[in-house]
């Protein structure tokens, strides 16, 4: 344990002693802390108070979700200790990926923090690090963020943690609500809920619908369109059927559709030296030698000057960006109480996910990095920056298939037991997971298109040395699929030693074990067409006559044990101390963008986590107070880190996954206090330290490593000096909530203010910072507020106003990180939402 870890551990231990001491003198019920206190969670696959579970949990009640205006994953950013949410360098704002305690999603790899809806993982596409579609945050009973490996009860890939979305289930009350919001950027939101007890306590139905529409806040001056807009609708139905007192079946079905004008990537610069270095493609030259030779690099400089003049809320794309997502699913949960001690549960699901998208990766009219550019500007609509030459595009992508189209099936059987007056509990079961392609899917890109002939294809050629050169300004097509199958057996139990002797009451031992078998198989065609009707395979320098000659397949089988061993003890009723060690495992995968034979698959990750912490409710001078804290230390192995790749033989660009080892440690604190019954003050804090212990990859000859020099191509590099990718060292937030009755029968007023802050984070995985401008995302803090008048004059009507990012902070949430040599030689970024504000009205009836 290093000195930083020892210091953090000592701090946590000292706080634990101080926190539990006053609790022994005067115990306090947690419910005096209001909405944040007694949330019932399912972190151990059974209903328990959050304060009774020996896991670091951040839970949000429906009221808190409304107050903070949390409607999507990215709204959780900076509000949960150690959690980072962002686009992870990808060209889509919908790619809202989670990184928790330094572990998260990697391009082409499985997520490290899994998003669950109704105990089932949401579909995760391959080309974007996204989980599910919009609408999943509507009508939730609660939202739970579980930190650390959850690999015993929640399965593979939860090395960083799990996020549980728990939908409201039907109740015995005929009730409902209708929520309407209107805000700036012409934002319109409507959400409705109706709960119908068809047969009291036997057949209950709950129907939910939502519609969100908003103009974009980034203007594309080429297309005269708003990017970063919102347009989606969703629906969900839940049916509870209880034919007998011992049998309950909950059937839930959902669906959503989203289509918007894509993400407003903001161009920041071109790598002029790298672009000029590709003179054999005619990209540009700092000293043009002839009219027919390479175009002046000044055109690239002019494009950057134009973007700088437009600013962070305007852009000029050469591609008409868009994204469309369709997703739906059915989950059925059957519970059968065999007796008072044993319960059988079966959870089965079937879900589909399909997405289409295109985006301008460099953020200019030049075709340096364009993804699926099927729709391009009309002739004469744009001119070359700084030159005025009309740009004529005639090389649109031939691909109109979805980028991701998958169907997912899961089956889980459980047996839960409770014995010895609740002193022995266990859960055991088996799990099956299958995600397969649902029809054809493909993608394409146009890269390295010379400015002088933007939009005009040129043929491939062989130079005087006999080396084949791929043509610029044509589509690189990549049809393919990835199929995943996973099987697992698991068991976890908790034993309270109070069953043996009263002196050991509330000392509990928890042990769990899971064994997982994974199989991943993929197929890809990665090629560049030429004007002669032939094709260049991305990983093969030979010219072929048929696309099928570029096919490649690969498969990977892996298996691993994950486990948990923990102790927790309650010296008094409202204080708990816990310690545990656990192993997590994240599956390997297939890389359809490989441009080398040895990068077509990548191996699984493993992490071992050591954690101590406490949870406590106590009083300070009769003031109810809550303090929870935890310290963790991770041994993280075979870390999957994605980066762009470039094959100098074929001039093909693609991707690869690299492996590394690291140690991660940190502390997390959560506190709240109620100095006055209507007033709650609270906040949280986290510190994360990420340090690579081993990190090396084979040099491509372009990039410097930790020595400051670029090793020769084909030799190992040392990258242990790099910071952790998407790791925010310091996160903190605090809130003030006031719930004040106005007068008898007039309802009550509630005010909520929250400030959340992220320190700077690094977004680059493999490149030393000076070679990747913009990879360090600056620190930012967001101020959100809401004011509500609830149950106005006893009418069931709630009225309120809200504002997010009240100070209109300009902040970046993602960077493309493809500037360096051997990559795509450009730099673009994504900015977070500006100030959003509006009015809301909600009508409730029947106790909803």
Write the CA distances from 216 to 185, 532, 686, 801, integer angstroms: 7, 42, 33, 21
Tell me: pLDDT of 212 over 90.
Answer: yes
How far apart are alpha carbons 830 and 813 in whole angstroms?
A: 6
Do the Cβ atoms of 83 and 100 come closer than 8 Å? yes
Q: Which residue has the higher pLDDT, 646 or 350?
A: 350
pLDDT at 655: 61
pLDDT band at 634 (very low <50, low <70, confident <90, very high): very high
| Backbone angles phi and psi of 456, in degrees to 5 | -115, 120
Tell me: pLDDT of 565 over 50.
Answer: yes
pLDDT at 772: 87
Write the CA distances from 499 to 99, 343, 409, 495, 503, integer angstroms: 40, 22, 41, 8, 10
pLDDT band at 479 (very low <50, low <70, confident <90, very high): low
Give the domains, in start order, of the chain with CATH numbers: 3-265+317-363+398-443+478-845 (2.40.170.20)
Structure confidence by residue, pLDDT tens digits, 284-331: 777 754 444 567 788 889 999 999 999 999 999 988 999 999 999 999
Per the document, the length of the chain is 848
pLDDT at 644: 66
pLDDT band at 394 (very low <50, low <70, confident <90, very high): low
How far apart are alpha carbons 351 and 259 in whole angstroms?
A: 19
Tell me: pLDDT of 813 over 70.
Answer: yes
Full 3-state SS string of 34-45: HHHCCCEECCCC
Structure confidence by residue, pLDDT tens digits, 127-151: 888 899 999 999 999 999 999 999 8
pLDDT at 495: 97
Instruction: For residue 645, give both structure tokens.
Output: 């790749």
pLDDT at 208: 97
| Backbone angles phi and psi of 279, in degrees to 5 | -65, -25
The tokens 């203007």 sit on which residue?
219
Do the Cβ atoms of 136 and 547 come closer than 8 Å? no
Span of 101-110, 185-194, 785-794 with lowest mean pLDDT: 101-110
Tell me: pLDDT of 388 over 80.
Answer: no
The tokens 């429906």 sit on which residue?
62
pLDDT at 11: 38
pLDDT band at 468 (very low <50, low <70, confident <90, very high): very low
Q: Under DSSP, is residue 255 helix (H, G, I), strand (E, B) or coil?
A: strand
Structure confidence by residue, pLDDT tens digits, 66-82: 888 888 888 888 789 99
- H or E element: which one contains 9? helix 3-25
Structure confidence by residue, pLDDT tens digits, 353-366: 999 998 999 999 88
How many Cβ atoms are within 10 Å of 386's Cβ, its own excluded? 17
DSSP string, 753-821: EEEEEE--EE--SSS-GGGSTT-EEPPEEEEEEEEEEESGGGSSEEEEEEEESTT----EEEE--B-ST
Sign of CA dihedral 496, 502, 506, 509: negative
Residues whose CB falls within 8 Å of the CB of residue 365, separated by 6 or more in sequence, listed in order: 222, 303, 316, 317, 318, 377, 382, 384, 385, 391, 454
pLDDT at 461: 41
Q: Which residue has the higher pLDDT, 76 or 424?
A: 424
Kindly state the average pLDDT of the residues 468-483. 60
pLDDT at 793: 87
Name the nearest CA neighbour of 590 among 669, 518, 653, 507: 518
Share of the chain above pLDDT 70, in %: 86
Instruction: For residue 217, give both structure tokens.
Output: 């806040």
Share of the chain above pLDDT 90, in %: 55
Structure confidence by residue, pLDDT tens digits, 710-762: 888 778 888 899 899 999 999 999 999 999 888 777 889 999 999 999 999 99
Report which DSSP code applies to 298. Answer: H
pLDDT at 692: 94
Structure confidence by residue, pLDDT tens digits, 53-66: 999 999 999 988 98
Span of 153-157, 277-281, 369-373 with lowest mean pLDDT: 277-281
Residues whose CB falls within 8 Å of the CB of residue 795, separated by 6 or more in sequence, listed in order: none
How far apart are alpha carbons 817 and 412 in whole angstroms?
A: 40
pLDDT at 783: 96
Report which DSSP code applies to 454. Answer: T
Sign of CA dihedral 98, 99, 105, 110: negative
pTM: 0.90
- H or E element: which one contains 182? strand 175-183
- Report the mean per-residue pLDDT for the chain: 85
Q: Which residue has the higher pLDDT, 227 or 14?
A: 227
Structure confidence by residue, pLDDT tens digits, 503-554: 999 999 999 999 999 999 988 877 776 656 677 777 665 678 877 788 888 9
pLDDT at 32: 47
- H or E element: which one contains 306? helix 298-310
Sign of CA dihedral 799, 804, 807, 808: negative
Span of 8-12, 380-384, 643-647 with lowest mean pLDDT: 8-12
Tell me: pLDDT of 4 over 60.
Answer: no
């Amino acid at each position: 344990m290093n000195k930083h870890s020892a210091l953090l551990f000592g701090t946590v231990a000292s706080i634990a002693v101080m926190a539990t001491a006053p609790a022994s003198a005067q115990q306090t019920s947690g419910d005096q802390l209001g909405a944040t206190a007694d949330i019932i969670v399912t972190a151990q696959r059974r209903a328990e108070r959050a304060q009774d579970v020996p896991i670091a949990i951040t839970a949000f009640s429906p009221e808190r979700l409304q107050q903070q205006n949390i409607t999507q994953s990215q709204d959780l950013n900076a509000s949960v200790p150690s959690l980072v949410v962002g686009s992870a360098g990808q060209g889509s704002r919908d790619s809202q990926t989670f990184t928790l305690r330094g572990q998260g999603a990697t391009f082409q790899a499985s997520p490290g923090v899994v998003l669950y809806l109704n105990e089932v993982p949401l579909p995760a596409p391959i080309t974007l690090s996204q989980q599910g579609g919009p609408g999943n945050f509507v009508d939730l009973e609660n939202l739970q963020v579980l930190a650390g490996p959850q690999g015993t009860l929640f399965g593979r890939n939860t090395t960083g943690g799990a996020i549980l979305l728990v939908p409201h289930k039907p109740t015995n009350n005929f009730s409902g609500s209708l929520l309407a919001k209107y805000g700036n950027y012409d934002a319109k939101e409507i959400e409705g809920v109706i709960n119908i007890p068809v047969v009291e306590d036997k057949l209950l139905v709950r129907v939910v619908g939502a519609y969100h529409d908003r103009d974009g806040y980034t203007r594309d001056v080429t297309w005269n369109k708003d990017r970063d807009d919102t347009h989606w609708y969703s629906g969900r139905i839940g049916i509870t059927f209880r034919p007998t007192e011992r049998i309950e079946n909950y059937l839930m079905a959902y669906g959503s559709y989203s289509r918007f004008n894509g993400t407003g990537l903001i161009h920041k610069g071109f790598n002029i030296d790298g672009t000029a270095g590709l003179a054999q493609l005619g990209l540009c030259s700092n000293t043009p030698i002839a009219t027919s030779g390479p175009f002046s690099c000044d055109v690239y400089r002019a494009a950057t000057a134009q973007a700088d003049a437009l600013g962070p809320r305007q852009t000029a794309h050469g591609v008409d960006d868009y994204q469309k997502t369709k997703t739906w699913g059915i989950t059925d949960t059957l519970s059968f109480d065999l007796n008072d001690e044993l319960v059988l549960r079966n959870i089965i699901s079937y879900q589909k996910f399909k997405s289409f998208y295109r985006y301008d990766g460099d953020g200019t009219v030049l075709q340096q990095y364009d993804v699926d550019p099927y729709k391009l500007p009309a002739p004469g609509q744009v001119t070359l920056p700084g030159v005025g030459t009309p740009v004529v595009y005639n090389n649109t992508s031939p691909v109109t298939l979805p980028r991701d189209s998958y169907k997912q099936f899961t089956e889980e059987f459980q047996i839960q037991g409770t014995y010895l007056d609740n002193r022995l509990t266990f859960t055991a079961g088996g799990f099956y997971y299958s995600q397969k392609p649902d029809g054809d899917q493909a993608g394409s890109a146009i890269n390295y298109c010379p400015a002088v002939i933007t939009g005009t294809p040129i043929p491939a050629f062989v130079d005087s040395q006999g080396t084949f050169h791929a043509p610029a300004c044509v589509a690189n097509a990549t049809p393919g699929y990835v199929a995943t199958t996973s099987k697992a057996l698991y068991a976890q139990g908790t034993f309270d030693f109070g069953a043996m002797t009263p002196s050991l009451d509330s000392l509990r031992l928890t042990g769990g074990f899971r064994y997982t078998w994974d199989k991943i198989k993929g197929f890809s065609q990665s090629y560049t067409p030429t004007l002669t009707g032939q094709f260049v395979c991305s990983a093969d320098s030979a010219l072929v006559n048929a696309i099928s000659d570029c096919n490649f397949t690969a498969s990977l089988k892996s298996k691993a044990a994950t486990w948990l061993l923990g102790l927790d003890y309650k010296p008094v009723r409202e204080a708990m101390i816990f310690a545990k060690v656990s192993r997590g495992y994240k599956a390997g995968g297939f890389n359809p963008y490989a441009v080398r034979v040895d990068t077509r698959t990548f191996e699984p990750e493993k992490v071992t986590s050591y954690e101590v912490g406490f949870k406590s409710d106590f009083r300070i001078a009769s003031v109810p107070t809550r303090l929870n804290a935890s310290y963790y230390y991770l041994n993280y192995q075979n870390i999957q880190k994605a980066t762009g790749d470039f094959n100098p033989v074929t001039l093909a660009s693609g991707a690869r996954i690299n492996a590394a080892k690291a140690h991660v440690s940190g502390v997390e604190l959560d506190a709240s206090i109620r100095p006055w019954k209507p007033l709650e003050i609270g906040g949280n804090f986290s510190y994360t330290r990420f340090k690579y212990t081993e990190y090396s990859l084979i040099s491509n000859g372009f990039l410097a490593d930790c020595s400051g020099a670029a090793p020769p191509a084909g030799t190992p590099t040392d990258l242990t000096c790099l910071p952790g990718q998407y790791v925010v060292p310091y996160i903190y937030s605090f809130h003030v909530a006031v719930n004040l009755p106005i007068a008898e029968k007039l309802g009550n007023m509630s005010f909520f203010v929250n400030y959340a802050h992220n320190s700077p984070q690094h977004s680059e995985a493999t490149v030393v910072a000076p070679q990747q401008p913009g990879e360090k995302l600056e620190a930012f803090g967001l101020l959100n507020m809401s004011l509500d008048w609830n149950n106005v004059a006893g009418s069931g009507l709630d009225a309120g106003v809200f504002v997010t990012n009240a100070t209109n902070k300009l902040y970046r949430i993602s960077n493309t990180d493809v500037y360096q040599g051997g990559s795509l030689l450009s730099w673009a970024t994504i900015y977070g939402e500006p100030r959003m504000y509006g009015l809301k009205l909600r009508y409730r009836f029947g106790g909803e």
